Structure 1
């Protein structure tokens, strides 16, 4: 069978709308994930046993179970216990919490990788724990964790395709609808592969520039 990309290109406005929805879901999930990751990493490093255990259980569950299962619990399971939520809320919350569990460990590992002598030097200057963390340790930890965070951000954009299972009209969901009406599977899925590649490439370029700027500073 001859390839025919004209059919798919005629649907490009729909695919671009799907790209915008993908970016919206991904960015909101990243915002939640980074926030959760910062809080989770601080709890994991805390001497408070309850906070430490709570953060450990969060990371253990979300890293140890498939994202699709977590998403289905939120969207299909929670209504069964009287906690219904929209597909958008379930998608963003699920993707954000899943991403946050990985960011928690990335940030925690980066903080632990900073030489302990830095904290001791800050203490000798009269800084307390929070001041040393904010002014001395955190700036160095951020530089260490940027490559891993960039990789996790890219994974979040790719994982956003799974939220199509709860009827969010992101790129993959739109592509599925187009494929159902045109039966041009190869053309449809190779086109969205290129669109995903473009989105992630732009993000990688911006992240590389940020990494270089921070290295100079």
Structure 2
């Protein structure tokens, strides 16, 4: 079998546009997932057991069900309740919610890694639980959480390929469109895979630089 990648040259702009959309979708999703996951993770360590249980149940359900099912529930299921979301919005919410389950556990682990003496010191200063968390615990926990949250961003770049099931023209869907025109399935998806590899590799490299700068402060 002879591979002919030259057939893809006219469609490179289409693939790059899909890659750019993938980056935007992943970035929006990781911001949403990190914000919500931070809340869920903080709730996981509150002194009130029933509240901790709710957060733990949320994480258990989100991490225990497939992302594709969650996307379908949001995009195809919510209209039956009278809630109609654009495909892009539904996709971002789905990816963000799924990510929040993993970020929540990352946050919990980061908070619990902070020495207990820091909590005791904050109590001696007369700080409330929320102020202790905001000004003392979280700033220290973020250092240990950053690598794992970075890995979650890389994972989201790959998982964003599932947005193609909602007819969103991200990189995978762009690849499918190119394949339908060129009939060059092997060449097309090799190219798509290389683009994903470039995206994840560059993101990992940038995150490593960020971690090094953070650790030197």
Runs of 4+ that moved beyond 4 A = none
Q: What displacement does 1:49 show? A: 4.5
Q: 2 CA distance for matches of 1:90 and 1:137? A: 33
Residue correspondences, number = 217
1:143 counterpart residue number: 143
2:66 counterpart residue number: 66
Q: 1 CA distance for matches of 2:112 and 2:207? A: 23
1:19 counterpart residue number: 19
Whether 1:104 and 2:104 are equivalent positions in the alignment is yes
Structure 2 spans left out of the alignment, 5+ residues: none
Q: 1 CA distance for matches of 2:45 and 2:203? A: 30
Q: 1 CA distance for matches of 2:54 and 2:120? A: 28
Deviates more, 1:76-85 or 1:140-149: 76-85
TM-score (norm 1): 0.94
Q: What displacement does 1:124 show? A: 2.8
Q: What displacement does 1:93 show? A: 0.5
CA deviations 1:93-118 (Å, max 9, x no partner) are 00000001100010111100111112
CA deviations 1:155-191 (Å, max 9, x no partner) are 0110000010000000000101111121211211111
1:120 counterpart residue number: 120
TM-score (norm 2): 0.94
Q: 2 CA distance for matches of 1:211 and 1:161? A: 27
Secondary structure of the corresponding residue to residue 99 of structure 1: helix
Q: 2 CA distance for matches of 1:121 and 1:43? A: 21
Q: 2 CA distance for matches of 1:188 and 1:71? A: 26
Q: CA-atom RMSD, angstroms?
A: 1.5
Structure 1 spans left out of the alignment, 5+ residues: none
